[in-house]
Amino acid sequence: MPKLPDLIATLFNQADIRINGGRPWDIQCHDETFYERIAAGSSLGLGESYMDGMWDCEALDQFFDRLLTTHHDRKIRPTPAMLVEAAKARLLNEQTKWRSLKVAKIHYDIGNTFYEAMLDPYMQYTCAYWNRTAKNLAAAQEAKLDLTCRKLNLAPGEKVLELGCGWGGFARYAAQHYGVQVTAYNISTAQIEWAREKCKGLPVEFHLQDYREATGVFDKVAAIGLCEHVGYKNYRSFLELAHRCLKPGGIFLLHTIGRNRSVTHTDPWIDRYIFPGGMLPSVEQLGQAIDDLFILEDWHSFGADYDRTLMAWHANFTNAWPRFSKEYGERFYRMWRYYLLSCAGAFRSRQTQLWQVVLSKDGIREGWKRPC
């Protein structure tokens, strides 16, 4: 019977990845117990063993591109722990109000200074839009913000609701450049504090509350990077809330990462260390939530731009790391590097998507046209 290292090496070889090979995407093994970690924990074991320094890879983005292109995530038999987590996701609502607070504490509240070093001036933590004129991250993020505003067909004086506003970049941009009034909701204390400071003097109101607590009626509604935290049990109620908050003739823009197939749970490593309770919707899941509620005006896919966005974030993170190494430590550095580059590989392999979906409450009679 083949030994465990040989079995795992064979699995990696199918993706043209070699143990102790000489190419950038090959694994360099420092501790052979990492084979047992992978066998026992699958993707969780792979990520944790990297965080613990058991192996290295010069180009993790290329490693994951190859791994995911060959669908290795579907070839590995689920461990008992994975089956338990999948069962919990089916039986429980992992994205209740109180459970959702965990992701703010673990991920979004770790330090605004840290995120300022990695992100652009508008602190956009969602996919940028690398159009023909965008030469750097800041320009690409402004292009995304402007595209979003034009898709919403914003007009001066309109009232806009933003569900899950992050550091308030969209609210600030829309108020500054399109003259709208924005009411925004978010559960991260650190993000809301930063957003309020940056939006002083603008017609923007921030609420440190869950998106489910939003009230009022608005001309337009936007949710940029929130749907990944909503959960499949809540997609319909999430869209019903947006529908309820829209005036007749209103437009809802949904900006979300998406999956090629429907699941009811997330990657266990991402769930434990990066986005607790996170979940990526599929076309089918969103379609069922939209059914007989909104008119679908546009479904724009530009997931390849997220690869470039993540690589820009990684470059900024790497350049800024000497300022943060003492405070956060080596294990955090390895965790964050693994997170950014594994996600870049996922988008590069086209196993993960980015969608902007434009929905109208009643249908736009003259027809909706995507801005150039």
Q: For position 86, what pLDDT does the model report? A: 46
Residues 174/154, Cβ–Cβ less than 8 Å: yes
**For residue 17, is pLDDT > 60?**
yes
Q: What is the DSSP string of 183-198?
A: EEEES-HHHHHHHHHH
CB 289 within 8 A of CB 235: yes
97 vs 60, higher pLDDT = 60
pLDDT tens, position by position, 242-294: 999 999 999 999 999 999 999 888 899 999 999 998 999 999 999 999 999 99
Highest mean pLDDT among 7-11, 37-41, 79-83, 353-357: 353-357
SS3 (DSSP) at 161: strand
Helix extents (H) in 92-201 = 97-103, 112-118, 137-151, 169-178, 189-198
Domains along the sequence of the chain with CATH: 4-90 (no CATH), 95-303+350-360 (3.40.50.150)
Question: What is the pLDDT confidence band of residue 75, given thresholds at 50, 70 and 90?
Answer: low
Average confidence score pLDDT of the chain: 92
355 has a pLDDT exceeding 60: yes
* 79 class by beta-carbon count within 10 Å (0-12 exposed, 13-18 middle, 19+ buried): middle
Instruction: State the catalytic residue, choosing from 57, 199, 245, 343.
Output: 343
- C-alpha distances (whole Å) from 365 to each of 238, 299, 362 are 25, 18, 9
Active site residue 343: yes
pLDDT bucket at 82, cuts 50 / 70 / 90: very low
User: Residues 188, 189, 191, 196: is their CA dihedral positive or negative?
Assistant: positive
For residue 7, give the DSSP letter: H
Q: To the nearest whole percent, how much of the chain has pLDDT over 70?
A: 91
